A and B are shown apart, each in its own frame.
Chain A
Amino acid sequence: MSRSDAEEIHAEALRVLSTIGVFFEDKGVEEIVVRAGGVRRDGRVLLPESLVEDSLKTVPRRIRLYDRDGNLVAVLGEGARVFNPGSAAIRILDYGATEPRSPTLADLKNLVVLADALQGLKAQSTALVPADVPAEVRDVVRLYVVLKYSSKPVVTGAFTVENLPLMVEMLASVREDYAEKPFAVFDVCPTPPLSWSTITSRNLVDLARLNAPAELIPMPSLGATSPVTIYGALVQHHAENLSGIAISQAVRPGAPVIYGGSPTMIHPYYGTASITSPEAVLISLGYRDLARLLDLPTHTYMALSDSKQVDYQAGAEAAYTAVVASLAGFDVVSGAGMLEYESVQSLEKLVLDNEAVMVAGRLTRGFDRDPAATQALAEGVLEKRGNFLALKHTRQNYRKEIRIPSVWDLEPRARAARQALLEKAHAAVQEILSTHAPKLLEGDQLEKLDNVLAKLYRQHNLKLGKPNI
């Protein structure tokens, strides 16, 4: 979009907030917004333009994201392209299976170890919801596994109001300066259209209070939970993000917020929510421009697929969205490994998506001017008779200029092991899981983390057996 297009949508979203307003399920959160200048009307709260504009003055423009050990990983707000696995899958598709199954803690551990090894993924996510853990504590246990088995930063989220503070306590148990040097971001999803449920709004309030980054994920579904036009959905999407920023800044000016989203196209016949449809991607690109207008860090769901199998469609959708996300310069890109409308994870697909992400990264890196090119051309033609492979210039530069794929099928036919790509991906999964040694959390940090886990189980009156992870 042009700047004037973006300004027009921003103005429309401000109008929406000041005339239609937002519904709060939780009256405590509603009161916070009213005290900040919101106006109650007919069960909703109108957000005057001044309230929103004031919140935009205090929301941070950059978020420095660190790993578990305190090393800087990326500066969000500068096109960081932090790809990470799609989060909160309720199923996992095993190699060779046609039907996905419920994941376990052991599956989550494997996924975390795998993601730790994959270079294209700069962050982890709490990617699976383990079915062998009591439902009341699944959100927190997911975070426990990630913190224990990987030092990469993590994209996560809470399923309940009361568990979020415990999740932040887990971060503090690992590193006390979690707020100054954040290594986890929490997804918070408003309910479309223009509503905030108790869970998500109170999560957002707690995150602001605890100074932990919140990643706002509006979820307009064209024609179902938002207007059917991309423009209309974009106005709603922007308004919902602005309302999230207003809540957050009302609690604590300066609280970190990432402008994100998960727009979908509801299939007009099946009712399925396609996240990789061109219409959904256009909304994402549109809100990227809106976030850029406000100079805010951005998030998107890309490098994923709506297919049910790791097949042509899966590859096409994951690769095209990975390239779009990378070229568009989103800061946080969630989705790798994901199938079937963000509900099914696959370890093999995670490996293949990592490859797509690396390709996207290479495309984005572009190329530099080479002052030695003419000299290399002269040497190649005049001295090496066209054999550039024998050139020092080649030897010195090829590894940085050329990204060598690790899984893609590029072997000559004679050397190929006659494995299908999926088989190669499976072999890579097996190899990584048997050889990769992640940097485990140990000593005092692990003990403190274990204590928070025990506290979680006590709070829910659940018996914590000997952790099998």
Chain B
Amino acid sequence: MGEELFKAVIEGDDKLSAESTRKLLERGLAPREIISSILVPAMRHVGELYERGEYFIPELIASAEAFRACMEVLRPHIGGLTDVPVTGVAVFGTVRGDIHELGKNLAVAVFEAEGFQVIDLGVDVPPERFAEAVEQYNADVVGMSALMTTTMLEQRNVVEELKRRGLRDRVIVVAGGAPVTEEWVREIGADVWGRDAFETVRIVKEMLVKRRGGARRSPA
């Protein structure tokens, strides 16, 4: 059964993934076990297939969607499990005025697969909402996506809003999206250039380890 779910996620079959997850729950497997021993290894394998050039983006997205479908099934069951160790809490959203979510969704899936508790704020998110979510969930990471040169200006406003509320130094700020460059990230005072989701999560994890001296944390 675990193999079926592992394979379904790798093959990007969202319906079968959700169904397999439900069956595993019914058989009494703990949500934490499903995540750590099946879903996370499956997504890591997908990442390896991509790194090796065997998987292209359409396969990557399909697997991310399958992973999300599993998480939807599991979420009601993991709400109370405060002992589940998480890598960190990340708040993700597409900035105000922008309604693209492809890149953001991929980042959400990859961060979740790497053990982050991700708060997905959706699209067209104003700076205030990012900042409120950081406070509300005691986030470690803020990921803001923008697809257009017009909307990437909003990323600066998010950083400014975090500064205004004294939250900027508490979080690692990731700026991603097609027009976003390393220089722009520096200019607006963000921390990480989200060139691709896998590289970004690696950098963020390294930064978190440095900040905390290697400790994982419990979810807020």
What total of chain B residues lie within 8 Å of the partner, measured CB to CB? 23
Residue in B100, B149, B150, B183 whose beta carbon sits within 8 Å of that of A102 in the complex:
B183
Q: How far is B106's CA from A417's CA once the two chains are assembled, in angstroms? A: 53
- Is the CB–CB distance between A268 and B99 below 8 Å? no
- The distance from the CB of B47 to the nearest CB of chain A, in whole angstroms, is 14
- Is the CB–CB distance between B183 and A25 below 8 Å? no
CB nearest to A273 among chain B residues: B178
| Stretch in A110-118, A190-198, A322-330 touching the partner | A190-198
- Is the CB–CB distance between B178 and A159 below 8 Å? no
Residue in A135, A267, A271 whose beta carbon sits within 8 Å of that of B153 in the complex:
A135
Binary interface encoding of chain A residues 389-404 relative to chain B, with 1 for a CB under 8 A from any of its CBs, else 0: 0000000000000000
- Is the CB–CB distance between B149 and A129 below 8 Å? yes
- Given A197-B99, A199-B97, A223-B58, is A271 in contact with B149 using a C-beta cutoff of 8 Å? no
- Is the CB–CB distance between B99 and A159 below 8 Å? no
- Is the CB–CB distance between A159 and B58 below 8 Å? no
- Is the CB–CB distance between A271 and B196 below 8 Å? yes
Residue in B97, B184, B196 whose beta carbon sits within 8 Å of that of A198 in the complex:
B97
- Is the CB–CB distance between A90 and B149 below 8 Å? yes
- Given A25-B124, A90-B181, is A271 in contact with B99 using a C-beta cutoff of 8 Å? no
- Given A135-B156, A224-B102, is A91 in contact with B97 using a C-beta cutoff of 8 Å? no
- Is the CB–CB distance between B99 and A25 below 8 Å? yes
Whether B28 is near chain A, meaning CB under 8 Å from some CB there, is no
A residues less than 8 Å from B97 (CB atoms): 25, 197-199
B residues less than 8 Å from A90 (CB atoms): 149, 179, 181, 184
Binary interface encoding of chain A residues 85-110 relative to chain B, with 1 for a CB under 8 A from any of its CBs, else 0: 00010110000000000100000000
Q: How far is B150's CA from A135's CA once the two chains are assembled, in angstroms? A: 10
- The distance from the CB of B168 to the nearest CB of chain A, in whole angstroms, is 19
B residues less than 8 Å from A367 (CB atoms): none
B residues less than 8 Å from A102 (CB atoms): 183
B residues less than 8 Å from A269 (CB atoms): 53, 56-57
- Is the CB–CB distance between B99 and A88 below 8 Å? no
Give B102-138 interface residues, CB cut-off 8 Å to A: 102, 124
B residues less than 8 Å from A159 (CB atoms): 149-150, 153
Give A247-268 interface residues, CB cut-off 8 Å to B: 266-268
Whether B98 is near chain A, meaning CB under 8 Å from some CB there, is yes
Whether A58 is near chain B, meaning CB under 8 Å from some CB there, is no
Whether A343 is near chain B, meaning CB under 8 Å from some CB there, is yes
8 contacts between A and B (CB under 8 A): A25-B124, A90-B149, A90-B179, A90-B184, A135-B153, A160-B150, A160-B153, A197-B151
List residues of A whose CB falls within 8 A of some B CB: 23, 25, 88, 90-91, 102, 129, 131, 135-136, 159-160, 189, 191, 195, 197-200, 223-225, 266-269, 271, 273, 343
